Amino acid sequence: MLKFLLRSVVLGLATAALLLVALPSLRTNILPNEATSTVNDGASLQISFNNAVRKAAPAVVNIYSRKYSQSDRSKLSTQGLGSGVIVSEKGYIITNYHVVAQADQIVVALQDGRVAAAQLVGKDRRTDIAILRVEGDNLPVIPLNPNYSAKVGDVVLAIGNPYNLGQTTTFGIISATGRSSISMDGRQAFIQTDAAINEGNSGGALVNTQGELVGINTASFQQATELETYGISFAIPFPLANKIMEKIIADGRVIRGYIGLDGQDINSVTSRLLGSEHVGGIIVLGVDPQGPGAEAGFEERDIILKIDGQKVNGRQSVLDIVTNLRPGTTVDVLVLRKGEEMTLPVTIAEDTR
């Protein structure tokens, strides 16, 4: 009996070996290579993000902020470090405000070994964005995709220079979007990720699996709250960072519109009572007595439906629309007051807070 079993096993192994030699295609199905695995439809699934890193990493620079010594104004010493992202062939770099806020001189080191003094184009404390510019030929530019929208569960890579160890890439997913609770004014919406962001990563790139810029790394929850936490870090969405950059390049600073109203989203029950055409409106809870809104005749309990012809979709959309309006312009605001629609013309002021 034992001899019979051994003979059957040997014959089976020999047959399998002959089939693998005769039909090489079977080997790729049975023994997948190190770089790919197979899914049900036969397509290969990439498990390495090397291509994404190779596309994005050259455009992520190290930033060293230097400050004059108080005892000797002729001496400069490095006071801080961070990262930045080259987003234009013209040499524009996006980084964090807090990376360069106290700097007397800013030095940028590229990954190809080039080092250059950077010009500070402008900065915006509210969004923690600063724009630098360096001169140079053939500057690496990070891939940009204006059609990409960050979604919870997307795989992302954080690239920067933590603790001045040298360029480092960490890996994670987008854990949440629209996080505003840790922003300076409670209005800025952050991307939350579990990719590690440490000191020196600030201003670096958060990219997707195509190497495209998703956001600008800005803080870990521990840095923001002084709590000991793990796996909670934040990045400024690239669309917001890009908008701030365009404003700074155009005007040297960020000019924001202001109407002097405070409001909140309408709950779902109220939305249904008002009708589907009013979904997304916000209810006015406060009016600055010295602001343009009071002068235009806004009242508490007004429901804002449209601003300058744009239908609003919640409090954040109102903030975005208003801050993008140029001070001095007059726009029509459609409101619902006591069940009746009315239009209030309001002249936009500049937000100087």
Task: Supply the residues annotated as catalytic.
Answer: 98, 128, 202
Instruction: Estimate to the nearest angstrom the gap between the alpha carbon of 164 and the chain centroid.
Output: 22
Residues in the chain: 353
Q: In what order do the strands lie in the sheet with 129-133?
A: 115-117, 105-109, 60-68, 76-86, 92-95, 129-133, 119-124
Both tokens of 26, joined, read 């079977």
Integer CA distances (angstroms), 5 to 1, 12, 13, 109, 310, in order: 6, 11, 13, 69, 80
Integer-rounded Cα Rg, in Å, for the chain is 27
At 46, the amino acid letter reads Q
Q: What 3-state DSSP class applies to 7?
A: helix
> For residue 147, what are its two tokens?
């059609």
Residue of 308, 312, 318, 310 lying closest to 261 (CA atoms):
318
CA atoms within 13 A on the CB side of 96: 25
Following CA atoms 109, 113, 115, 118 in sequence, which dihedral angle do they give, to the nearest 10 degrees? Answer: -50
DSSP type of residue 88 = S
Is the separation of the CB atoms in 314 and 282 below 8 Å? Answer: yes
Integer CA distances (angstroms), 165 to 82, 131, 269, 304, in order: 11, 24, 54, 51
- The answer to whether residues 278 and 334 touch, using CB atoms and an 8 Å cutoff, is no
Measured between alpha carbons, how far is 142 from 138 in angstroms, rounded to an integer? 13
d(CA 195, CA 8): 53
* CA-to-CA dists, residue 206 to 96, 156, 161, 239, 308, angstroms: 13, 6, 13, 13, 34
